[in-house]
A = this chain, B = another copy of it.
């Protein structure tokens, strides 16, 4: 820390991204990436855009914004495109939260919400999940705070129904409710259909997971045009050219290849259910994940032990030190080959520790 750091930042604890070790080649099941390459159309369009990099990207991201609006059946003015969905989430904290309008989210959820709150000097409360890791909807009714919920939740993969989300929206008309749908394409129902009815709803999404574009950094928010207008005020005061032109073009290409996306989603869901079944047979208990990962605890071996032994065997999964979930690992669902390796390595570990 330098002597110049603002007093406002002295206690800021940054987010820790999943490890990316370079000592050997791993089966990488730790950051919920897609095992499938991006759509060929996305790659082609990105490569074409690379030839025109001397010109600025479109700050309005017009063509891609229109395509996302079309996909979700909303208007152009309901969509804002960002540099990953982390950016739209941060914009939401910047636009709508402050010392008088605090934030609330589950104690077990995407670890970045609390970092965004700290970064923006926003007071926040973490509401404990139930013992089964589900969200107790009652806890979020009439709460008078800005609510951030990942649906499906991470790292549990559990989902909320639209009925429950509506209850939360309806009972908090003076505050925004952000539904972070990074994983929605693998299960659960999108809340985008509610944006006309609830002016306080912001739905966020990403191209990182189901569309195999984590490396492109492409996220978006969908909401009433009033909320999007506020978020645009933040965007144009932060980084008007926030999304580069290759990523914009890749996003357009990906949306022109929805069959490919659907096929990939189908395979991930099949592999997920296979992994669930296999792990259960090997003595694991799992949440009923609807995402592209499972969340699993063994009945004998500790979460840390499994994480470390898998790592030694060349398989990376995500382990969290937080006590309430330290017996679990979050394991990304890969392709069939990665899935087989995962299961066989876990079998080896269980053999070795008998």
Residues of chain A having any CB pair with chain B under 8 Å: 1-9, 12-18, 20, 28, 31, 33-38, 42-43, 46-47, 49-59, 83-84, 86-87, 90, 94-98, 100-101, 115-116, 118-119, 174-176, 199-200, 208, 212-217, 224, 226-227, 229-230, 232-247, 250
A46 touches B50 (CB 8 A): yes
B83 touches A54 (CB 8 A): no
B238 touches A119 (CB 8 A): yes
Give the residue name and chain of the B residue nearest to A99 (CB). Answer: B8
- The residues of B that contact A84 with a CB separation of less than 8 Å are 239, 241
A28 to B36: give the CA distance in the assembly, Å. 40
B214 touches A5 (CB 8 A): no
- When all copies of this chain in the complex are counted, the total is 2
Of B37, B54, B95, B234, the residue contacting A51 (CB under 8 A) is B37
Give the residue name and chain of the B residue nearest to A245 (CB). Answer: B215
- The residues of B that contact A100 with a CB separation of less than 8 Å are 7
Q: Whole-angstrom distance from the CB of A312 to the nearest CB of chain B?
A: 22
The 6 closest A-B pairs by CB, nearest first: A14-B236, A47-B47, A2-B226, A215-B245, A54-B212, A46-B50
- The residues of B that contact A31 with a CB separation of less than 8 Å are 56
Given known pairs A46-B46, A215-B246, A217-B57, the reply for A239 and B86 (CB within 8 Å) is yes
Give the residue name and chain of the B residue nearest to A219 (CB). Answer: B239
A6 touches B95 (CB 8 A): yes
Most buried by B among A86, A213, A217: A217
Q: Whole-angstrom distance from the CB of A136 to the nearest CB of chain B?
A: 25
- The residues of B that contact A224 with a CB separation of less than 8 Å are 2
Give the residue name and chain of the B residue nearest to A116 (CB). Answer: B237
- The residues of B that contact A58 with a CB separation of less than 8 Å are 20
- The residues of B that contact A33 with a CB separation of less than 8 Å are 54-56
A215 touches B38 (CB 8 A): no
12 other A-B residue contacts (CB within 8 Å) besides A17-B241, A54-B215: A4-B200, A4-B226, A9-B95, A37-B52, A42-B53, A46-B50, A52-B215, A54-B213, A86-B240, A90-B239, A215-B244, A216-B244
A83 to B86: give the CA distance in the assembly, Å. 14
- The residues of B that contact A97 with a CB separation of less than 8 Å are 6
Q: Whole-angstrom distance from the CB of A206 to the nearest CB of chain B?
A: 11
Of B15, B227, B239, the residue contacting A240 (CB under 8 A) is B15
A118 touches B237 (CB 8 A): yes
B50 touches A250 (CB 8 A): yes
B43 touches A53 (CB 8 A): yes
Give the residue name and chain of the B residue nearest to A234 (CB). Answer: B9
- The residues of B that contact A213 with a CB separation of less than 8 Å are 53-54
A214 to B12: give the CA distance in the assembly, Å. 32
A236 touches B54 (CB 8 A): no
A15 touches B237 (CB 8 A): yes
Q: Whole-angstrom distance from the CB of A45 to the nearest CB of chain B?
A: 9
Ordered by A's residue number, 20 sampled pairs between the chains whose C-beta atoms are within 8 Å are A1-B233, A2-B226, A3-B226, A4-B226, A14-B235, A28-B55, A37-B52, A37-B53, A42-B53, A46-B50, A54-B212, A56-B214, A84-B241, A87-B239, A118-B237, A119-B234, A215-B245, A215-B246, A216-B244, A216-B245
